[in-house]
Structure 1
Amino acid sequence: MTPEAVEQFFTRADGQFLFARWGRPIVPIVFGVEDSTISVFKGAIEAVVALADHKMAEHDPELGANLMVFFIRDWAELTATPNLDRLIPDLAPLVTRLEQAQANQYRSFRFDAEGGIKAAFVFIRMDDAMAQASADTIALSQIVQTILLWSDTAFLGTSPLAILKDDGPAVLKPEIADIIRAAYDPVLPVAATDASLALRLSARIGGLQ
């Protein structure tokens, strides 16, 4: 994968290059679904974390759980959730924007002093499109989009997943898997705003191949 192609995955709509990966073990918790779906979600998280050669833990000393996934049926549920406004700044205006956009997913990140990801909040509104997707597909798609701070345009009109055969399970696209593996090389910084990092990522992807 060329440096230019890699760079586009972390170049935001305003032209800013912004890269970040998790700087601490991931501790997930899932709300709003049955136990069977929670198991599917945690299995997907474990698979992607293993791909990245990162770590999971049972408890985050600062936050308890640092990857919180919420399944909801309506965005208005967020404003009715106790104390959620402490985790998500300007929650009410955000809910209004999500309702107006008819969005079915939203991710919010928190960062540590080095710029690495220290927490992520994932909200999934079960509209008709989401209801047609399998739990496995939703889980894999969401954790892939949460394991790194991708550009806000990285997956517009496309998906990090692919279907290899009719009625088959969704799988992670090889090029996305390569970026995730390269991004967690311990030699690389946990965060960067200089696009030259794309050169280093591209070089490591070449080494993986």
Structure 2
Amino acid sequence: MTAALTPDQIADHFTRSDGSYLFARWGRPVAPIVFGVDDATLATVKGAIEAVVTLAGHQMAETDPELGVNLLVFFCRDWDELLAVPDLDRLVEGLGPTVARLRAAGANQYRAFRFDAAGAIKAAFVFVRMDAAMQDTPAADIALLQAVQTIVLWSERAFADRSPLIRAKGVAVLRPEIAALIAAAYDRVMPAQATDPSHALRLAARLTAT
């Protein structure tokens, strides 16, 4: 049996590099769309998203009544390709400078979020550049990793030292303690957004109660 995360360990997952605590989860059903992949990979990505959404006890949808779709996943071979996507700069604020920063850093993934008036996640944009490292990674692993990292707003440092995935019999699966944390975060009595570190204590109480 996997030991539950401690309150401090939980807080680390939502404490940003400036020391502030910020958590958010989806406040509406997730309606995804995927660009830049073949049909087989499309099914893999959507399947991973559905699996993580189901784990959270949240809902999927074909469309979002306000936005049409609210989880947009883009696969590209070069960051500059994003600049050619029609109207993407209207959806992702500061797209040009962001692309320049990602290019300079040699990054291969990036996520951006939008929030509703209550602070819950309203939309998410996932960008994956298929560099050599990504091309050597199974599509199922990439899909699950991106799904996990968009189901809640994690700190940018949350998985810097340890992936949320492990391999079981050659297949990538979610680490049990992270799966339990996601499920606790979507407990109906928990807030959709939190900025007080005491939120981590409430999550810890739900982990030890299950």
For Structure 1 versus Structure 2, the TM-score category normalised by the shorter chain is: over 0.9
What residue in structure 2 maps to residue 176 of structure 1? 178
**Stretches of structure 1 lacking an aligned partner (at least 5 in a row):** none
Q: Which amino acid in the other structure matches residue 171 of structure 2?
A: P
Q: Structure 2 length normalisation: TM-score?
A: 0.97
Is the counterpart of residue 151 in structure 1 residue 151 in structure 2? no
Deviation of 1:157 (Å) = 2.8
Deviation of 1:164 (Å) = 2.8
Deviation of 1:82 (Å) = 1.1
What residue in structure 2 maps to residue 9 of structure 1? 13
What residue in structure 1 maps to residue 189 of structure 2? 187
Deviation of 1:158 (Å) = 2.0
Is the counterpart of residue 131 in structure 1 residue 123 in structure 2? no
What residue in structure 2 maps to residue 66 of structure 1? 70
Hey, what's the Cα distance between the residues in 1 that align with 2:146 and 2:53?
A: 13
Alignment of 1:3-152 (within 5 A): 3-152=7-156
Number of equivalenced pairs: 206
Deviation of 1:90 (Å) = 1.1
Hey, what's the Cα distance between the residues in 2 that align with 1:144 and 1:187?
A: 21
Name the SS of the counterpart of 1:115 in structure 2: coil
Name the SS of the counterpart of 2:135 in structure 1: helix
What residue in structure 2 maps to residue 205 of structure 1? 207
Q: Residues 4-34 of structure 1, C-alpha deviation per residue, up to 9 Å, x if partnerless? A: 1100000000000000000000000000000
Name the SS of the counterpart of 2:150 in structure 1: coil
Runs of 4+ residues deviating >4 angstroms: none
Q: Residues 51-98 of structure 1, C-alpha deviation per residue, up to 9 Å, x if partnerless? A: 000001111011100000000000001111111100111111111100
Name the SS of the counterpart of 1:108 in structure 2: strand
Hey, what's the Cα distance between the residues in 2 that align with 1:164 and 1:83?
A: 41
Hey, what's the Cα distance between the residues in 2 that align with 1:199 and 1:117?
A: 22
Q: Residues 155-180 of structure 1, C-alpha deviation per residue, up to 9 Å, x if partnerless? A: 11321101134xx1111001110110
Name the SS of the counterpart of 2:166 in structure 1: strand
Hey, what's the Cα distance between the residues in 2 that align with 1:157 and 1:179?
A: 18
Q: Structure 1 length normalisation: TM-score?
A: 0.97
Q: Which amino acid in the other structure matches residue 144 of structure 1?
A: V
Hey, what's the Cα distance between the residues in 1 that align with 2:12 and 2:35?
A: 33
Name the SS of the counterpart of 2:72 in structure 1: strand
Deviation of 1:2 (Å) = 1.1
Seq. identity, %: 63
